[in-house]
């Protein structure tokens, strides 16, 4: 399973990229606003730090403007993935860009029916939002199960299931069990995967025992 980080914080991206565990980055208008930097230069900088897909989202909602924005974003770097909303206009742009060799991430997916449309439009990634479904009383991970199962029925479809709106490590674990292709989540959620009290306690005991030997490796 690929790990994408959902942030526009260049320092956090560099920190995770240094671990060698980061496969890509997703951004959205809200994350760009939070970063407080100019959009185009920031995406270019992120693409220089991360060799994998970097999602940059269009701002328009109509087809014509969205199409032009998508083409401009695709020209920033070879690893840019143009992010479009799951709307009729967004899927039209997805088909157009995908046919021209541009990776497209179709976002704001909340149903398996929508995911089918995205695959038909040639999306490189479909982004179902599990956390937002959980927030309104639905089981977000059930949607991931449905999409993965449907996509498995059609091996000629190349769309990858990118689990988004992840709130906690359990979402990541369940995504891996189901067989999702990618997860994207905030840096702090990725870092929580490291933690376990038995690891901390065991390391503390080893450190103390080593000190007691009076030895040094170097």
> What percent of the chain is helix, strand and coil (3-state, nearest 5)?
50, 15, 30
> Per-residue pLDDT tens for 125-150?
999 999 999 999 999 999 999 999 99
pLDDT of residue 104: 98
- Please give the pLDDT value at position 141: 98
Sign of the torsion formed by the C-alpha atoms of 93, 158, 187 and 13:
negative
Catalytic hit among 37, 71, 72, 83 = 83
pLDDT for position 149? 98
Distance CA 31, CA 83 (A): 13
Per-residue model confidence as pLDDT tens digits over 28-85 = 999 999 999 999 999 999 999 999 999 999 999 999 999 999 999 999 999 999 999 9
Instruction: Round to whole Å and give the CA distance between 7 and 187.
Output: 7
Domain 2-211, classified CATH 3.20.20.70, yes or no:
yes
Label residue 175 by pLDDT band (50, 70, 90).
Answer: very high
What is the spatial distance between Cα 143 and Cα 118, in angstroms, rounded to a whole number? 15
| Amino acid 98: pLDDT | 98
Give the span between the Cα atoms of 87 and 76, in whole angstroms. 24
Catalytic residue flag (residue 83): yes
Q: What is the pLDDT of residue 76?
A: 98
Site of tokens 């905030």: 186
């Amino acid at each position: 399973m690929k790990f994408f980080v959902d942030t526009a914080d260049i320092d956090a991206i560099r920190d995770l990229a240094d671990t060698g565990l980061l496969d890509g980055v997703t951004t959205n208008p809200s994350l760009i606003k939070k970063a407080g930097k100019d959009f185009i230069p920031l995406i270019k900088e992120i693409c220089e730090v991360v060799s994998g897909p970097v999602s940059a989202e269009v701002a328009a909602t109509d087809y014509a403007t969205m199409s032009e924005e998508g083409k401009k974003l695709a020209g920033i770097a070879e690893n840019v993935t143009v992010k479009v909303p799951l709307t009729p206009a967004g899927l039209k742009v997805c088909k157009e860009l995908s046919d021209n060799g541009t990776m497209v991430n179709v976002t704001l997916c909340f149903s398996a029916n929508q995911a089918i449309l995205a695959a038909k439009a040639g999306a490189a990634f479909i982004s179902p939002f599990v956390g937002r479904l959980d927030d309104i009383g639905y089981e977000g991970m059930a949607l991931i199960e449905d999409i993965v199962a449907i996509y498995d029925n059609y091996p000629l479809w190349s769309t990858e299931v990118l689990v988004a709106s992840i709130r906690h490590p359990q979402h990541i674990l369940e995504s891996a069990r189901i067989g999702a292709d990618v997860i994207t989540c905030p840096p702090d959620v990725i870092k929580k995967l490291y933690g376990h009290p038995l690891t901390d306690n065991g390391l503390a005991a080893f450190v103390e025992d080593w000190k007691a030997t009076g030895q040094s490796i170097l």
